[in-house]
Structure 1
Amino acid sequence: MTRRVGFFGGSFDPPHNAHLALARLARDHLQLDELRIVVAGQPWQKAAQAMTPAEHRLAMTRLAFAGEPRMAIETWEVDHPEATVTADTLEALQARADGQGAEWFLVLGQDQYGRLDTWRRWPDLLSLATLAVAGRAGAPPQPPDALAAVPHRVVALPLAPMATAATALREAVAAGMGIAGEVPPAVASYIDRHALYRAAPPEPHRS
């Protein structure tokens, strides 16, 4: 029987409850044997933006998804310092022995799906995986015009509306506000312990 594997990528800066809800939904709705949580190294779209050091984002992601059945944290992008492209990462994971012969699903939110035609090598993604998209407020996924013109496999994920956004969480912490209800408790503790998202940029985590 063909294994079903999901690819859920992101900066996870920080990982929050909406990330966790989407991952759980994708795992269960798609009946995945495994969901790879792919922590971004240096996404090419964000090359000019300051990001929290990968060591912190990886540590927080491990805490956020700890104990989740059939989920695994993937460090391929973090281990490669150059700017990363999702199609390259997906090809690399599929080429590994544990990814060969599997059916792959690329898990996205509507915001990502709606601008997928701006991603590098986006047409290649359509042959590498079925797109699994969580539409806004339960609405069907809405592709951009360029993507709508190209046949592709897409599955809708019925995710309940959640207003959480990583940018807003970082701004809240910087303003001295609590975010304990928006992120897993272990992540909230990590952010506080390492003084992340404060005025001074955090130093790389050393274990």
Structure 2
Amino acid sequence: MTYRVALLGGTFDPVHHGHVALGAHFMRLLGADELRVLPAGAPWQKAALGAAPEQRAEMAGLAFAGQPFKVVVDTQEITRGGPTYTVETLRALRAELGPETSIAFLMGADQLRRLDTWRDWHELFGLAHICAAARPGFTLDQLPPAVAQEMARRAGTPEQLRNTPAGLACLAPDLALDMSSTGIRAALQRGNKPDSLISPVVLDYIEQHNLYK
């Protein structure tokens, strides 16, 4: 049987319930064997981050602990150093996991809207399936034309994604998550506790390490 890995990349600055819900949603949908959580090292499209790379990885580990599926926090982007490009990470993972493993790269619709600005973005489909979660009512018309065309051309069912290594696209338009790390950082800077958006163990970690002040 095909081994199935779901990958959830992000800055996780800080990690919140939306990240966990996105990972869990696709783990169920794809029947994946393992969720790899990949904290970004130095993402080239983002400004300076509020927490150190190791702290973001530790917070991700805390947030995903206790899930009913296997979770691995993969720090390769942090240890690699230099600017972080998803295509390089997927090449490394494909080399590690082999040609037969089904790899699904997960993202939110906001990342999908910028996919055509990523380095070698067409090559991503040769390395993994691209899966995006969107709020109800989201359509491909809201994407850049080149991305919409690629997503439509490659649209596959969860069953097809489970049993092929790469090359398909899946849009799950039923995940209503209205939260962002930016908004959470702003709340923390104001001295508020966004405890409905972030797990208590992560909030404790943030307070202990005096982050986002």
Query: 1:159-198 residue pairs with structure 2 within 5 A?
Result: 159-198=174-213
Cα deviation for residue 76 of structure 1 reads 0.6
Higher helix share: 2
User: 1:91: which partner in 2?
Assistant: 91
Cα deviation for residue 67 of structure 1 reads 2.3
User: 1:116: which partner in 2?
Assistant: 115
| Number of residue equivalences | 196
User: 2:63: which partner in 1?
Assistant: 64
CA 1:192–1:51: 2 relative to 1, 3 Å: closer
> Where does structure 1 lack aligned partners over 5 or more consecutive residues?
199-207
Q: Report the aligned-residue RMSD.
A: 1.6
Q: Is it true that 1:78 corresponds to 2:93 in the alignment? A: no
- 1:93 partner letter: L
Cα deviation for residue 52 of structure 1 reads 1.7
How high is the TM-score relative to the length of structure 2?
0.86
> How high is the sequence identity, in percent, across the aligned residues?
38
- 1:103 partner letter: S
Cα deviation for residue 108 of structure 1 reads 1.1
How high is the TM-score relative to the length of structure 1?
0.88
Quote the Cα distance in structure 1 between the aligned partners of 2:98 and 2:50: 29
Partner SS state of residue 2, structure 2: coil
- 2:135 partner letter: R
Query: 1:4-153 residue pairs with structure 2 within 5 A?
Result: 4-46=4-46, 48-68=47-67, 69-96=69-96, 98-137=97-136, 139-141=138-140, 142-150=142-150, 151-152=153-154, 153=168
Quote the Cα distance in structure 2 between the aligned partners of 1:191 and 1:59: 11
Contact 1:138 1:160 in 2 (8 A): no
Cα deviation per residue 1:163-204 (whole Å; 9 max; x = unaligned)?
Answer: 111001001010011112211110011011111100xxxxxx
Q: Is it true that 1:3 corresponds to 2:3 in the alignment? A: yes
